[in-house]
């Protein structure tokens, strides 16, 4: 018979959930969860401290990797990157916020499917380029936007990046999630290759693209109605039948 598996170490997950819910310092929450998990797993104190130290040494360069791109983007924004992006998109005829975001969704999903997940992102792509360009296209077509409409456009720009990355990388054969599923299925004696798992991600990615593309396509109509509520009634009046116009 197999020895019973202790579930007490999973209390560390609860510590993380509660700590984040109470908005405690994330570093303290993670360290606390590590200590709780180690104690409940009957690990020696020296081993717990060793694991914490090893984790710190392996990730000590991570803040530098995160901070440097943010500093570069901040410097570009200070010298007018967002304004230039808005000015450029305003010169493109037929450009709308919805069409622009649909194009970015397609590019983001395809690049993620090829494993190029770093080509996009909120900090390095959405905030300095995609969101300002979407705002510029909306302003060029509909006029000045309220803060609520601006935030809606920005939120959809961020959501577009999320959808494209999340469902696009599911089609990449070397994606960590696919390798994890392959390992688990192999342990359960299910013979399936990573390529087959990635192929089954294609229908889901296509469905996600179509659903979100419809939302983005409807964005332009929503902006038009929000900026000028009387526009639909004027359009209906213009398209009145000739017999109705002649009668008057």
pLDDT in tens, the chain (248 residues): 445 667 888 898 899 999 988 988 888 888 899 899 989 888 898 888 888 888 777 666 656 666 666 677 777 777 777 778 777 787 777 889 999 999 999 999 999 999 888 888 888 889 888 999 999 999 988 888 899 999 999 999 999 999 999 999 989 988 888 888 888 888 888 888 889 988 989 999 999 999 999 999 999 999 999 987 765 555 455 455 554 545 54
* CA–CA separation, 40 and 10 (whole Å): 9
Q: Where are the beta strands (DSSP E) in 123-214?
A: none
Determine contact, residues 182/193, Cβ cutoff 8 Å: yes
Q: What is the pTM of this model?
A: 0.67
Q: What are the distances in angstroms from CA 150 to CA 88, 131, 137, 192, 214?
A: 18, 9, 11, 46, 19
* CA–CA separation, 159 and 211 (whole Å): 12
């Amino acid at each position: 018979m197999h020895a019973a598996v202790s579930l007490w170490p999973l209390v560390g997950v609860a510590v993380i959930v509660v700590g984040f819910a109470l908005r405690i310092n994330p570093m303290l929450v993670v360290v606390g969860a590590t200590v709780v998990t180690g104690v409940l797993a009957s690990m020696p104190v020296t081993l717990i401290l060793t694991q914490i130290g090893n984790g710190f040494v392996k990730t000590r360069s991570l803040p530098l990797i995160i901070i440097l791109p943010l500093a570069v983007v901040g410097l570009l924004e200070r010298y007018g990157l967002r304004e230039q992006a808005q000015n450029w998109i305003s010169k493109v005829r037929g450009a709308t916020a919805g069409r622009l975001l649909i194009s970015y969704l397609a590019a983001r999903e395809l690049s993620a499917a090829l494993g190029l997940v770093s080509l996009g992102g909120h900090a390095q792509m959405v905030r300095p380029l995609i969101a300002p360009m979407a705002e510029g296209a909306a302003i060029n077509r509909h006029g000045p936007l309220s803060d609520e409409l601006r935030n809606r456009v920005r939120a959809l720009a961020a959501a577009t990046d999320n959808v494209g990355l999340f469902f696009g990388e599911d089609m990449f054969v070397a994606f960590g999630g696919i390798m994890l599923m392959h390992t688990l299925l192999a342990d359960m004696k299910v013979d399936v290759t990573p390529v087959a798992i990635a192929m089954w991600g294609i229908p889901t990615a296509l469905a996600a693209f179509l659903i979100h593309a419809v939302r983005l396509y409807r964005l332009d109509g929503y902006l038009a109605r929000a900026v000028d509520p009387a526009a639909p009634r004027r359009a209906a009046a213009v398209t009145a039948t000739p017999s109705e116009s002649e009668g008057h």
